[in-house]
Each structure stands twice: as structure tokens, then as C-alpha cells.
Structure 1
Amino acid sequence: MRIASYNIRKAVGLDWRRDPHRIVDVIGEIEADIVVLQEADKRLGQRPGVLPLDRLRDEHGFILARHALSGQSHGWHGNAILYRARRFRPPGTERIPLPAREPRGAIAAHFDVNGFAVVGAHLALTTGIRKQQLHALCAHAGNSGIPTIIAGDFNHWGRHLPAGGHEVITPGLSFHASRRVAALDRFVLCGDVTALTFGVHTSLKARRASDHLPVVLDFDIPGDRSKC
């Protein structure tokens, strides 16, 4: 299976135009089974989602996992998860509160066909708060008892992400799209998840659609579902 994580910056590209169809084009290029998004909703008012869900469904087969508290948002605190309808039944969903000085939270989708979970997160800029959030996410994944992939924008500029002994996959430099200097977007694997290949999606359109580039992981869930 393939999972991607992508901070879409509310669909505002490097030309400062909000172009959600450009984001959909990039998602289509990746050919993932699951896509975890950050900054998928606007920040003000009802926080409406920015993407054309009908096009994602009709052209690429993606369905939005339901996390939103309002009918206009795509997710929760800007986090959203898309999945291929032909591959998965509708997942169970969960909102995960995180310690923060500003509104922050993570979301989870539980895919019962293969018995695994995906957590999407966008962590804080402040180092101390970010460490608390990562600890909370790893503890949540560890307590779930099923293989879990934590994906998102970790806002961590260092080389090594402290993930409590869980395997960290750093696909490469994903920020800034115009001049790649930091690996902010990563995956953390908890339990019986095997990373196969990974990388940063660097197409011409991706280098214009957002200030982040998507990161991609091909993975396997072996038959032995050992706990985290």
C-alpha cells in the first residue's frame, strides 16, 4: 500500500493564488491509497475545506474520512484523511486532542480490512509543546494495539525525531518547495508496519502548488499483528 502526507497550505501556491484544483492534480500524480493532509481547511469562520471533494471522488476515487465538527470543514484543526473507496471500507474515525497553547489536534482513521490505523497530525512550532504532542501521539498509537502510521508535518528541523523508540521514516527534504532545506514531513511507524520505499514527490506542479512537497511511503502490514 502507499500513503502520502501533504501540507497543502490551504491550497495557496507559491504564486499566492488559491488553486485547489492544482492540489488535486498533485494528489492524482502520487497514486496513493491513503493521503493525509494538513492545512486542508481555512482558518476563519466555519473553517471551510478548500478542496473539490467531488473531483477527488469522481476522477481519483478518493473519499474523505469524516472527522469534521461542522458540515463545511474537511477535517479537524486542518488535518484531513483521504482514502480510496475501491480499496477500503469507510474507516472508523477519531479526534485526538493534543497539548497546546493554540488550537491543535490530530485525527485517526481505523481501517478494518487490514487491521491498521493512520494518524494525521500537524505539530506545534514550539519545541517543548511539540515534544509533548509527539509523546502523546506515540502513546496513543502504542496503546491502540494495532499497527499504526503517524503521518504529517512534524515541524521538526533537526535530523533525528524523538519518537520514543518507534521507527521514524524521513523521506527527504520537503520544505520549502522552492528551495528544499528541511525534512518537516515524516512518518512514524508503530507496531507491525514494514516500510518498503519512500521519497519526496517533486513534480513541477508539486513545486508550485504549496510551500511543502508531498512525502510518500510504500508499506506493508504483515500477517503477524504484534502490538506496539
Structure 2
Amino acid sequence: MPGPRQRRTASVDGDARELILDAAEELIAESGFDATSTAAIAKQAGVPKGLVFYYFPTKSAILTTLIAERLPAEPLADVAGLVVTGEPESTLVNLEAALNLRDHHSSVMRVIIWREAETHPAVRAHLRRFRTYLHDATVEVLRASSPVAVSARVLDSCATTWVAAMFSVASIDRLRDLDGTREHREDLGGVARVVAAGLEQLGAAGA
């Protein structure tokens, strides 16, 4: 499943660990974790099978490392710099751009997480932390950017809507990646305007 990311080779950077993770990411996204053997990962990476186990003592360690390092549960250390005071719409757009969930690499990793969450508890736990982080980060930037005081309930609803929208358009982008039509990107700006308008209207109404 070749994609926009250029596959590394040992002759390029000699980093066997990253080569192994690159290969695992590609093969697991394509065939699933259980159907991907360590031998196949080693072959794809162009390294001896023993080197795979040198870096990753178990096959499961490859999966957990891949997820932790390439789609961390808390990707942004600080979201304060994304806030535009009085402009929640611009703030939401800034948050989405900083998270970069629509990047091809991120979309491949989400395919892996959603697929493997069904059978791997550690992946489910990571997914829960990731969604919680996105929700909490959205609440934080909305509270800081809102021109009116807003209740916790309204912030929660708006954050839930925005996180769902981010995941939705990222999934659409992933399908378009597969079809080779990625240039037609969904516009999240309109959703940001709707969320911002709802935030202000409900806040002003004291909902």
C-alpha cells in the first residue's frame, strides 16, 4: 500500500528501528496485526529477522511502540498558543491544523488503531486516552477563546461535535487517499463556524 511518505531504506539512513516501524505500519494497515508476521516485517524492512526481536522483544511490542510513537495519545504539550481571544472559530481551525489528523501518516495510524482496538486491550486504552485528550483540549481552547461565558455542558457538547467532525473528515480523507482523489478535501472551516455560533448563542442564552 504505497502512499505519499517515501519509504526509507537502510542505504538512506541506516536506522533499522525506524525501518522496522515503517514496515510494520505499512503491513499492519494493509493486512491487520494478526495477519502480519515478524518475518514479513523483517523482509519489508530489509533487515534480518533477529534484528526485529533485538529492538522489539515481542510482536505485540511492535504494535504498542508504533501507536505510542506515531500517534501519541497526547500529541500537543500545550494548546494555549492556539487560542485567538474572542474568536473560537479561528481557534478551532488552529487546533485542527496543529493536530494534523488529516495527514496521510496520521490516517494510516488511525486505520491501525480502529482495527486493532477490537482485539487488543492496550490499543483500546490508547484510543480512549486519545479521544479524551482531543475532547479536553477542545474544551480548553473553546473556553479560552469564547467571547461570552459558557457553561460546562455547552462546552462539552461543542467539543464533542468538533472532535467528531475532525475524525469524520480525516476518515473521508483516508478513503480519498485510497481512491487517489485526496485533492478534494472537506472543509472544516464551515463546521468551525457552526460550532462557534452555537457556542456563542447558547452561552448568551445561559444554556
**Is the pair's TM-score, using the shorter chain for normalization, greater than 0.5?**
no
TM superposition score normalised by structure 1? 0.26
Higher normalized helix content (fraction of residues): 2
Higher normalized strand content (fraction of residues): 1
Indicate the structure (1 or 2) with the bigger Cα radius of gyration.
2
TM superposition score normalised by structure 2? 0.28
